């Protein structure tokens, strides 16, 4: 199926979703749905670098918050309509992703992962100390009550996130089926062999980091309007970090379907759960699920479904470990 | 005859350990060169330095008239270098066909002249056929035997359409007739203009294949000449028997 | 910024003392990451666990926290050994340690922190001991005892660890397993068992580091997070697996953090070690005493 056709189907699905939500008559659906859709974008974005290339980003919250805070900064400088803010958030996060990637992607994946953790903390410290965007006190954004033709403002935000989610999924699917998708897979499988086969690994990794970061920033840009009052602790929140990793890993990392399934399932569960149980228990469950899936079902839900359909146990496709593997530098 | 590969005074250390010292050699376009030496003599390190997987501290490598120092491994592959890894490193999540696709998409395409998708697919099958793996084109590497994995390594290097192919122990574990098949395959490649450096322990194959033989011991080159003369060299004998 | 010589010297001294403590915190990671190449980002969570176990015993039985942590170290060792076994079977054997292994430890970090929140709440906890409170004065230099004692015991811990790694058979096997597993097998030593022992020791150090932490400052579950970057920064800066390097790097980081906090304000301190990390990775990934 060609990508533009797929995008059309996505948009049709979005319209259907919107219609269904509106029919339910309760605006809470839009509030909850916004969060789930946000996670669709975040997980899909994470998976482009994590699932396709094999580079773990622990700092999803940082890119998300960058998007949110560039909105706040722009709001004070020169208010813009949200779609433009989304673009700004994407550009800012993309550029930061590129910069960080340039510093760390020439090193092993483990160092990149640790560096992303570092980035999150450094950025949070910077924001907390930057009074222009409110610092630790937080920043208010006054949002209108309604916006025609949507009615309640939340419906407008929901639509934006819906379109972003459709876009993110389309981009992921496009990448998967194109030459970069093959390139990313070789980086994940064996970077040394990829280089030897002519794959420009650094360039591809930088591209993946940029796209991933930009998408996360775009997801964060409307957030101040959703939440009204933005504090660093909520923008840089723990739940973003763990969910953007747990959702793709639980859903399945090898295709665009996995993060979507993971985000919808886990996101919805969490929205239901926050009403009934505390957010701490919520996060505990996510953490346990993550560990359980990673050990027992490494291919995620997508993998389990494939296994069920093919009626044979699916061994995980990992690099074949030869006993007494000669170390890299063996003469 | 123009020298395709020129290595001048190459040196590589790992901390205090000297892996290669003062290696100088050259390979002419179209030659068939054998590289032998005891385990640990630095053969794979030399390959890694030539291909850019490792950086050499001393000396220089020239390929096709260009200095390679500073270029990345993938850039060297684009220029026409290809190698196999001593321990095969297939792309585990891609089927054999897709393993062939990678060099075609990235190396051959980079040299210009884009091919259409059906052309690429046909070429992938062709390469797999050369090594006898086209039946398993849609299988994953983990389903292959060790021997088939080595053939896959070779096929993937061939798919990059190199000017110089370095085959690092591609024949380990093969039967007598399989060894002959691979030697014949490499000779065919050579007839089509591919310069080949063969690193092997199977002396039968090395002797029948090589026009020239280079011997590496403890990181130094101790012999470089016609195969018949090199094997009678007393230094070489001492290196192999006296170890 | 009010610059005074007193302030400067005090900042440097307290930086050195804290640095000693940081070295103990990092020692475990030097072992698991520097030597075994396992990216255990959950290590700070185990340290916080150590803080809470010391706290529990201290408040219920009144036992000195450092003593508690030494007594409980074998339990932490067992925990570490068990975790390594799961890690090995699920990830190392399959060659999946880079993505799923990392996610595994991340999950453990979360589970530990959130469980502590659920059980103990988010209030700060602190312990009581005779050396928490008094401060020694050397002229204009103030040295709180609650930092000196952990500093001294930290150095003792590291010295012991270094001795074990360089003199004992198990210790040398641990250092060897990083370099040549095949050679170990030829000596009839199971590399997996050695790695399990090493990882167990790594987590056991967390028990002690946790006790040091709660002596120095009050602890609540999320405190561990600011140590993640610190610990890896020091490990990389110290040359990955070199304990002497770790000590030097830890003191360096401690001094810079202390100076930053004194002259620029404490809210900038977390960024210091992380900034160090990014800089080190970009400029000299082999660390100060690079191998």
Check residue C175 and give its pLDDT: 86
**Distance in angstroms (rounded) separating the CA atoms of residues A125 and A191:** 34
Q: Do A104 and C282 touch (CB under 8 A)?
A: yes
- Is A195 within 8 Å of B52 when comparing Cβ atoms? yes
The chain B residue lying nearest A329, using CA atoms, is B45
Pairwise CA distance, residues B216 & B207, whole Å? 16
- State whether residue C99 sits within 8 Å of chain A by CB: yes
Check pLDDT > 70 for residue C285. Answer: no
What is the interface pTM, i.e. ipTM, of the complex?
0.90
**3-state DSSP percent of chain C in helix, strand and coil, to 5:** 75, 5, 20
Q: Using the beta-carbon criterion (under 8 Å), do B89 and A179 form an inter-chain contact?
A: no
Q: What are phi and psi of C135, to 5 degrees?
A: -130, 135
Q: Which of A106, A180, A198 to mutate to test the interface with B (most CBs of B within 10 A)?
A: A198
Domain that holds residue B11: 3-91+163-241
Number of domains, chain B: 1
Helices and strands, counts by H and E, chain A: 15, 4
Residue B103: pLDDT band (50, 70, 90) is very high
In the block, tokens 């494939």 appear at A306
b/e map B55-93, b = 16+ CB within 10 Å: ebeebebbbbeeebeebbbbbbbbbbbbbbbbbbbbbbb
When pLDDT is averaged across residues B129-138 and rounded to a whole number, the result is 91
Give, as one character, the DSSP assignment of residue B87.
S
CATH, residue B191: 3.40.50.300
Eight-state DSSP code of residue B54:
S
**Sequence-distant (≥ 6) Cβ neighbours of residue A295 within 8 angstroms:** C86, C90, C104
Confidence of residue C97 (pLDDT cuts 50, 70, 90): low
Q: Is the pLDDT of residue B58 over 70?
A: yes
Three-state helix/strand/coil letters over A32-67: HHHHHHHHHHHHHHHHHHHHHCCCCCCCHHHHHHHH
Nearest chain A residue to B108 by CA distance is A198
pLDDT of A128 reads 83
Q: Minimal Cα distance from C104: which residue of A? A: A291
Cα atoms found within 13 Å of the Cα of residue A108, Cβ hemisphere only? 13
CA distance C235 to C247: 9
Q: What is the pLDDT of residue A331?
A: 38
CB < 8 Å from C in window 293-312 of A: 294-295, 298
H-run or E-run covering A209: helix A201-220
Q: Where would I find the beta strands (DSSP E) of C183-273?
A: none
Q: Cα(C169)–Cα(C173) distance, rounded to whole angstroms?
A: 6
pLDDT band with cut points at 50, 70 and 90 for residue C24: very high
3-state helix, strand, coil in chain A (%, to 5): 75, 0, 25
Summarised one tens digit per residue, pLDDT across range B207-235 is: 999 999 999 998 999 999 999 888 888 88
In this prediction, residue B241 has a pLDDT band, given cuts at 50, 70 and 90, of low
Q: What is the mean pLDDT of chain B?
A: 89
Distance CA B138, CA B98 (A): 8
Residues A320, B141: C-beta atoms closer than 8 Å: yes
Q: Mean pLDDT across chain A, nearest whole number?
A: 86
In the predicted structure, residue A329 carries a pLDDT above the cut 50: no
Interface of A with C in 77-106 (CB under 8 A): 103-104
Angle at C30 between CA C210 and CA C56, to 5 degrees: 10
pLDDT at A318: 43
Q: Confirm if A208 and A191 have CB atoms less than 8 A apart.
A: no
pLDDT tens string C150-176: 999 999 999 999 999 999 988 888 888
Minimum CA–CA partner of A193 in chain B: B89
Mean pLDDT of the A169-188 span: 93
pLDDT score at C23: 95
Tokens 């000017």 sit at which residue? B163
Query: What is the pLDDT, as a whole number, of residue A271?
Result: 86
**DSSP element (H, E) containing C278:** helix C269-283
Q: A18 - beta bridge partners?
A: none
Instruction: Read off the pLDDT band of A276 (50, 70, 90).
Output: confident
Give the Cα separation of C198 and C228 in Å (integer). 20
pLDDT band at residue A312, thresholds of 50, 70 and 90? low
Higher-confidence residue: A239 or B209? B209
Strand, coil or helix: C276: helix
CA distance C80 to A148: 59
> Which position has the higher pLDDT, C115 or A131?
C115
Structure-token pair, residue C125? 């906890």
Q: Which of C93, C111, C285 sits opposite A321 (nearest CB)?
A: C93
pLDDT digits (tens, 9 = 90+) for C214-246: 999 999 998 888 888 888 888 888 888 788 999
Judged against a pLDDT cut of 60, whether residue C1 lies above it is answered with no
Per DSSP bridges, beta strands B220-225 and B212-217 are antiparallel
pLDDT (0 to 100) of residue A132: 82
Burial of B136 per CB tally in 10 Å (0-12, 13-18, 19+) = middle
The ranges assigned to domains in chain C are: 17-223
Residue A249 to residue C100, Cβ atoms within 8 A? yes
In this prediction, residue C261 carries a pLDDT of 87
How far A54 CA lies from chain C's nearest CA (Å)? 6
By the 8 A CB rule, do C174 and C197 touch? yes
Pair type for strands B195-199 and B17-28? unpaired
Confidence of residue C291 (pLDDT cuts 50, 70, 90): very low
| Alpha helices, DSSP H, located in chain B | 43-51, 73-79, 96-103, 117-130, 146-159, 176-191, 203-209, 227-232, 234-241
Is there a contact between B85 and A193 if contact means CB atoms under 8 Å apart? Answer: yes
Peptide bond before A118: cis, by omega within 30 degrees of 0? Answer: no
Q: Measured between CB atoms, does C235 come within 8 Å of chain A?
A: no
Residue C102 to residue A113, Cβ atoms within 8 A: yes
Q: Max CA-CA distance within chain B?
A: 56
Tokens linked to A295: 């050990």
- B77 in contact with A, Cβ within 8 Å: yes
The pairing of beta strand C135-138 with beta strand C141-144: antiparallel
**What are the two backbone dihedrals, phi and then psi, of residue A271, each rounded to the nearest 5 degrees?**
-65, -40
A178 touches chain B (CB under 8 A): no
Cβ-based contacts of C229 with chain A (< 8 Å) = 114, 117-118, 121
Return the axis-axis angle of helices A109-128 and C225-237, rounded to nearest 10°: 130
Distance from CA of B84 to the nearest CA of A (A): 9
Contact present, C159 and C24 (Cβ < 8 Å): no
Whether A323 has its CB under 8 Å from any CB of chain B: the answer is no
3-state DSSP assignment of residue B21: strand
Q: Does A113 touch chain C (CB under 8 A)?
A: yes
Q: Who among A194, A196, A322 is closest to B87 (CB)? A: A322
Question: In C, which residues are within 8 Å of A298 by CB distance?
Answer: 90, 94, 96, 100
H-helix segments, C62-189? 65-87, 102-120, 145-167, 169-177, 181-186
Half-sphere exposure of B90 (CA within 13 A, CB side): 32
Among candidates A179, A317, A330 on the partner chain, residue whose Cβ is nearest the Cβ of B105: A179
A106 at B interface, C-beta within 8 A: no
Q: How far apart are CA C137 and CA C115, in angstroms?
A: 41
Domain definitions of chain A by residue range: 3-237
DSSP A275: H
Across A216-220, C4-8, C37-41, C107-111, least confident range? C4-8
* B55 confidence band (pLDDT: 50, 70, 90): confident
Give the neighbours of chain B: at least 3 Cβ pairs within 8 Å.
A
Quote the CA–CA distance of C55 and C65 in Å, as a whole number: 7
Would the pLDDT of A323 be above 70? Answer: no
Across the interface, of A136, A287, A327, the residue whose CB is closest to C110 is A287
CA atoms of A53 and A201, how far apart (whole Å): 10
Contact B71, B55 (CB under 8 A): no
């Amino acid at each position: 199926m060609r990508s533009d056709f797929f995008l059309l189907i996505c948009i049709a699905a979005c319209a259907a979703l919107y219609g269904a939500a509106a029919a339910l008559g309760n605006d809470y659906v839009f509030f909850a749905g916004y969060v789930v859709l946000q996670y669709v974008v975040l997980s899909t974005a994470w998976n482009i670098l994590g699932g396709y290339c094999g580079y773990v980003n622990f700092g999803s919250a940082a890119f998300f918050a960058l998007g949110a805070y560039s909105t706040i900064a722009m709001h004070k400088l020169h208010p813009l309509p949200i779609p433009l803010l989304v673009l700004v958030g994407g550009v800012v996060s993309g550029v930061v992703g590129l910069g960080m990637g340039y510093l760390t992607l020439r090193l092993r994946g483990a160092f990149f992962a640790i560096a992303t953790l570092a980035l999150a903390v450094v950025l949070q410290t910077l924001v907390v100390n930057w009074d222009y965007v409110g610092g630790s006190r937080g920043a208010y954004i006054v949002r209108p009550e309604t916006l025609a033709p949507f009615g309640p403002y939340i419906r407008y935000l929901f639509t934006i996130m819906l379109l972003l989610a459709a876009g993110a999924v389309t981009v992921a699917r496009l990448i998967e089926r194109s030459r970069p998708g093959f390139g990313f897979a070789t980086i994940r499988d064996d970077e040394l062999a990829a280089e030897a086969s002519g794959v420009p690994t650094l360039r591809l990794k930088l591209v993946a980091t940029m796209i991933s970061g930009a998408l996360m920033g775009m997801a964060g840009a409307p957030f101040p309007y959703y939440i009204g009052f933005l504090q660093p602790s909520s923008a840089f929140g723990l739940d973003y970090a763990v969910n953007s990793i747990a959702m793709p890993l639980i859903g399945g990392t090898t295709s665009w379907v996995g993060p979507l399934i993971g985000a919808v399932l886990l996101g919805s569960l969490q929205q239901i759960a926050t009403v009934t149980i505390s957010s701490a228990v919520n996060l505990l469950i996510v953490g346990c699920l993550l560990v359980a899936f990673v050990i027992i079902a490494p291919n995620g839900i997508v993998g389990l479904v494939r296994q069920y359909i093919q009626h044979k146990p699916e061994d995980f496709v990992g690099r074949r470990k030869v006993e007494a593997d000669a170390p890299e530098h063996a003469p | 005859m123009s020298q395709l590969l020129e290595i001048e005074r190459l040196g590589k250390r790992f901390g205090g350990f000297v892996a290669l010292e003062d290696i100088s050699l050259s390979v002419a376009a179209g030659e068939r060169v054998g590289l032998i030496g005891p385990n640990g003599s630095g053969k794979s390190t030399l390959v890694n330095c030539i291909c850019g997987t490792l950086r050499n501290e001393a000396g220089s490598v020239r390929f096709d008239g260009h200095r390679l120092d500073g270029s990345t491994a993938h850039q060297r592959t684009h220029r026409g270098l290809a190698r196999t890894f001593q321990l095969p490193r297939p792309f585990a999540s891609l089927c054999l066909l897709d393993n062939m696709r990678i060099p075609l998409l990235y190396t051959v395409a980079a040299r210009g002249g884009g091919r259409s998708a059906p052309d690429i697919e046909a070429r992938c099958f062709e390469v797999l056929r050369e090594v006898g793996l086209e039946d398993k084109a849609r299988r994953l590497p983990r389903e292959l035997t060790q021997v088939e994995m080595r053939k896959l390594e070779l096929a993937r290097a061939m798919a990059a359409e190199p000017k110089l192919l370095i085959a690092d122990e591609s024949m380990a574990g093969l039967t007598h007739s399989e060894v002959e098949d691979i030697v014949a395959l490499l000779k065919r490649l050579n007839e089509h203009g591919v310069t080949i450096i063969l690193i092997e322990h199977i002396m039968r194959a090395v002797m029948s294949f090589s026009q020239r033989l280079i011997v590496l011991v403890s990181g130094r080159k101790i012999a470089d000449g016609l195969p018949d003369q090199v094997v009678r060299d007393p230094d070489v004998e001492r290196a192999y028997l006296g170890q | 910024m009010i610059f005074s010589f007193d302030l400067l010297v005090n900042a440097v001294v307290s930086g050195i003392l804290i640095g000693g403590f940081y070295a103990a915190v990092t020692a475990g990671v030097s072992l698991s990451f520097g030597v075994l190449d396992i990216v255990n980002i959950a290590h700070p969570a185990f340290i916080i666990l150590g803080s809470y176990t010391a706290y529990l015993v201290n408040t219920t039985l009144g036992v000195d926290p450092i003593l508690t942590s030494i007594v409980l170290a074998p339990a932490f060792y067992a925990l570490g050994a068990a975790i390594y076994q799961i890690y090995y079977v699920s990830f190392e054997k399959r060659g999946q340690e880079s993505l799923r292994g990392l996610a595994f430890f991340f999950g453990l970090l979360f589970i530990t922190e959130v469980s502590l929140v659920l059980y103990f709440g988010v209030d700060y906890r602190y312990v009581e001991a005779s050396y928490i409170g008094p401060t020694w004065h050397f002229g204009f230099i103030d040295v709180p005892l609650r930092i000196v004692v952990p500093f001294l015991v930290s150095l003792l811990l590291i010295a012991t660890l270094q001795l074990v790694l360089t003199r004992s058979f198990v210790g040398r096997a641990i250092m060897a397993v990083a370099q040549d597993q095949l050679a170990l097998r030829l000596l009839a030593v199971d590399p997996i068992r050695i790695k399990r022992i090493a990882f167990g020791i790594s987590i056991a150090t967390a028990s002690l580091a946790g006790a040091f932490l709660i002596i120095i400052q009050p602890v609540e579950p999320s405190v561990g997070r600011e140590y993640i970057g610190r610990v890896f920064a020091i490990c990389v800066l110290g040359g990955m697996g070199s304990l002497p390097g770790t000590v030097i790097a830890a003191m360096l980081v401690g001094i810079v953090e202390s100076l930053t906090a004194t002259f620029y304000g404490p809210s900038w301190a977390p960024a210091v070690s992380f900034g160090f990390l990014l800089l080190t990775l970009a400029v000299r990934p082999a660390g100060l005493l690079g191998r």
